[in-house]
């Protein structure tokens, strides 16, 4: 059975790649190497979730490195801070190290669980993995694991794995928190707008009910309603 080194970014994203690589006849070994994850306690949560996933799926797990200081990480980006542009500089060291390790341990190929996420820059990952393959001589296996996105979510919830709320680096964390705040503010505004609308509708129902009580005759009520509409249209004072 051919052996493949699977770079893994977290527990939930590793599930479908492991399952489907095995279905294809590969023997995967997971490799956790993610120095871009901030802060340190978040890095540890994702590493621990990957350890749990490895146990539950009975897959060997290699670990290497530790989280880089957020300030140092940001400085090394040299001002390239926009999402997508900076992400390539995050993919590159991980793909290079995975490819190098695959070559050192004579794996038949390498790939990455980053190809599972719908939120990652898929083409950039493929380009960086291909670049690392050329640089090291290790064979890169491309697979689009996004096909099984919802299956992976369901499985991670069933296993009770920790599910992160941002991509990884300190910049993505700040962006995720800002988006969360914006979503909460939008939700609060919508809730207030709905409450105001319901209050107006309730007041209108109360007014109509009072009018109906004051004018029990249905025909008379309709006549008054028509007269009120005409008055509103012509801006005339109501009849005495």
Among 60, 125, 141, 132, which Cα is nearest to 101's?
132
Are 99 and 129 a contacting pair, CB within 8 Å?
yes
pLDDT at 170: 72
Centre a 10 Å sphere on the Cβ of residue 198 and count the other Cβ atoms it contains: 10
pLDDT at 220: 67
Distance, in Å, from the CA atom of 92 to the CA atom of 139, rounded to the nearest integer, reads 16
> Which range, 14-18, 180-184, 193-197, 211-215, is most confident?
14-18
pLDDT at 181: 76
DSSP run (H or E) holding 120: none
Fold of 3-168: Rossmann fold (3.40.50)
Question: Which residue's structure tokens are 């794995």?
Answer: 161
Out of 9-23, 77-91, 133-147, 218-232, least confident range: 218-232
Average pLDDT over residues 88-108: 96
Distance, in Å, from the CA atom of 174 to the CA atom of 56, rounded to the nearest integer, reads 32
The burial class, CB within 10 Å (0-12 / 13-18 / 19+), for 87 is buried
Which pTM does this prediction carry?
Answer: 0.74
Distance, in Å, from the CA atom of 4 to the CA atom of 155, rounded to the nearest integer, reads 22
Average pLDDT over residues 104-108: 97
Q: What is the pLDDT of residues 154-203, one digit of tens each?
A: 999 999 999 988 787 777 777 777 777 777 788 878 888 888 888 888 88
Distance, in Å, from the CA atom of 160 to the CA atom of 240, rounded to the nearest integer, reads 73
pLDDT at 223: 72
Q: Tokens in use for 102?
A: 């695959």
Q: Could you state, in order of their start, the residue ranges of all structural domains in the chain?
A: 3-168, 182-234
């Amino acid at each position: 059975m051919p052996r493949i080194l699977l770079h893994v970014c977290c527990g939930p994203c590793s599930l479908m790649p492991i399952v489907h690589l095995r279905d294809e006849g590969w023997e995967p070994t997971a490799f956790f190497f993610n120095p871009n994850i901030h802060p340190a306690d978040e890095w540890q949560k994702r590493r621990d979730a990957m350890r749990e996933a490895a146990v539950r799926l009975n897959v060997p797990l290699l670990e290497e490195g530790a989280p880089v200081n957020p300030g140092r990480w940001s400085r090394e980006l040299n001002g390239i801070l926009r999402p997508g542009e900076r992400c390539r500089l995050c993919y590159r060291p991980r793909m290079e190290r995975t490819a190098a390790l695959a070559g050192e341990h004579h794996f038949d190929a390498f790939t990455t669980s980053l190809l599972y996420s719908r939120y990652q820059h898929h083409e950039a990952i493929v380009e960086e993995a291909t670049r690392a393959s050329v640089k090291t001589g290790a064979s890169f296996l491309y697979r689009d694991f996004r096909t099984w996105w919802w299956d992976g979510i369901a499985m991670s919830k069933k296993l009770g794995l920790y599910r992160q709320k941002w991509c990884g680096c300190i910049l993505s964390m700040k962006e995720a928190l800002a988006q969360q705040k914006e979503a909460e503010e939008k939700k609060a505004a919508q809730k207030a707008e709905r409450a105001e609308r319901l209050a107006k509708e309730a007041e209108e129902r109360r007014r109509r009910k009072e009018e109906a009580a004051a004018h029990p005759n249905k025909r008379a009520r309709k006549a008054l309603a028509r007269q009120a509409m005409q008055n509103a249209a012509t801006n005339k004072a109501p009849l005495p």
